[in-house]
Amino acid sequence: MKISRWFAWMLGRKGFRAGTKGMGGGQQPSPPEQLAESAAERLEGNDSADLELARSIPAPQIDRWFYPRLFNLDSWEERPLNPAESSLLEAFRQIAAGPKLSSRLIPRLPLVIPQLMRSLKDERTSGAQLARQVAKDPVLLGEVIRVANSPYYRRAHKIASLEQAIVLLGRDGLQQLIARVAFYPIFNLRGGQLIRQAAARVWGHSERCAMVCHCLAKRFGEDLFAAYLAGLVANLGLIVGLRLMDQRLDLEHDPLPRAESFYGEFIQLARQLSLRIIEDWNFPQGVIAALSEQLACAEAESSSMLGCCLALGDRYSKLNLLLEQGYLSAEELDPEALVANPCYRRLIVEFTA
């Protein structure tokens, strides 16, 4: 089952070149200049605190804190590339800019996923029917029950019934859950220990980023599932880069790349590859534009609203992980400034044990 067909079923249409609002009609995307103006005006008119907080810590600074921690490095080294780093970057360039993406990078989806998504877009499908389909996939079943009993829903009594859990989550919640289950195998690398650790951290960031994007989209009236998808898939290229690193480096004998210039290009190539992958999957144009803005390092005021959600989601989720793991001190960042934001608070509710 091709992933592009799965998303076509999920969103109720065979193509995605329309805008993301509703993701189901023939609406054409607005010109970039209109999108930029609309995003800036709506952020300022609705809640400019998010934008001000994002500006207070430049994205490159957050990246210099976050990315070394993926590999258990304290910091990068300011030095020229060594031959091994140059060779690894050249191999990644060939993948990111190659004429065709390798199908080996994308695992097959469980058949139950597209079946469920077709049912979710049919308003006549009952909770009992959805429960029967969810029950066919043990992983999906366990995740539905786990999420329904998470602190976010604040249930007085534990939910054990699958049908009750589905009613509680609703169609929006199920869409998010199914997307997570579908994408998780891509992020679950089975290489060496360091690469497995790094991939797990990237998945943690992706989950958090998707959650913040969804929360911000709800506040700003954007398409919820498009925002969630944008956050979830923004790191696809990074996972491919980690897989390449695992294949080409024997980390027991080869030193891990440490040059800051290596990771500067490595991260940009990863973003470029993420964009290529979702273009190949024929994703909604708004999601493609959001990742394109991230690749161009667009400032929030010049982004589409979905691009603003992705930029903010990326920053909040990285800061959340850094604070959670004790990598930032109160002198470097005041946690109270983040906790004041409701979308950041949701990360604390969902991911703090």
Using alpha carbons, select from 140, 138, 126, 202 the residue that is nearest to residue 176. 140
For residue 71, give every residue at least 6 positions away whose Cβ sits within 8 Å of its Cβ, in sequence order, or none: 194, 198, 256
* Residue 123 in this model has a pLDDT that exceeds 80: no
Q: Which amino acid is at 61?
A: Q
Q: How far apart are CA 141 and CA 90, in angstroms?
A: 43
Q: Which amino acid is at 297?
A: C
pLDDT at position 238: 94
Mean pLDDT of the chain: 79
pLDDT at position 24: 34
Mean pLDDT across 94-104 = 77
Work out the pLDDT band at 258, boundaries 50, 70, 90.
Answer: very high
pLDDT at position 112: 60
Instruction: Give the dihedral sign, CA 246/97/91/71.
Output: negative
Do residues 231 and 313 make contact, with C-beta atoms less than 8 angstroms apart?
yes
Using alpha carbons, select from 287, 215, 235 the residue that is nearest to residue 50. 215
* Residue 317 in this model has a pLDDT that exceeds 90: yes
Residue 148: both structure tokens together: 């329904």
* Residue 69 in this model has a pLDDT that exceeds 60: yes
**Alpha helix ranges (H) inside the chain:** 3-11, 32-46, 49-56, 59-70, 83-97, 112-120, 127-134, 138-148, 162-187, 193-220, 224-233, 236-248, 260-280, 285-295, 305-324, 335-339, 342-351
Work out the pLDDT band at 331, boundaries 50, 70, 90.
Answer: confident
DSSP 8-state class, residue 109:
P
For residue 270, give every residue at least 6 positions away whose Cβ sits within 8 Å of its Cβ, in sequence order, or none: 96, 235, 237, 238, 240, 241
Mean pLDDT across 58-74 = 91
* Residue 146 in this model has a pLDDT that exceeds 90: no
pLDDT at position 319: 93
Residue 334: both structure tokens together: 């005041």
* Residue 74 in this model has a pLDDT that exceeds 60: yes
Mean pLDDT across 107-130 = 67
Q: How far apart are CA 93 and CA 90, in angstroms?
A: 5
Using alpha carbons, select from 180, 178, 151, 181 the residue that is nearest to residue 346. 151
**pLDDT of 163-214, one tens digit each?**
888 888 888 888 888 888 888 888 887 777 778 889 999 999 999 999 999 9
* Residue 295 in this model has a pLDDT that exceeds 60: yes
pLDDT at position 183: 85
Q: How far apart are CA 344 and CA 329, in angstroms?
A: 18
Other beta carbons less than 10 A from residue 165's beta carbon: 26
**pLDDT of 11-29, one tens digit each?**
443 333 333 333 333 334 4
Angle, CA of 10, 106 and 315, to the nearest 5°: 75
Using alpha carbons, select from 17, 208, 23, 188 the residue that is nearest to residue 117. 23
* Residue 127 in this model has a pLDDT that exceeds 70: yes
pLDDT at position 314: 94
pLDDT at position 49: 58
Percent of the residues in the chain that have a pLDDT greater than 70, as a whole number: 77
Mean pLDDT across 45-72 = 77
The string of DSSP codes covering 115-170 is: HHHHHHT-TT--HHHHHHHHTT-HHHHHHHHHHHTSGGG--SS----HHHHHHHHH
pLDDT at position 55: 61
Alpha-carbon distances, residue 64 vs 67, 70, 273, 292 (angstroms) = 6, 11, 21, 21
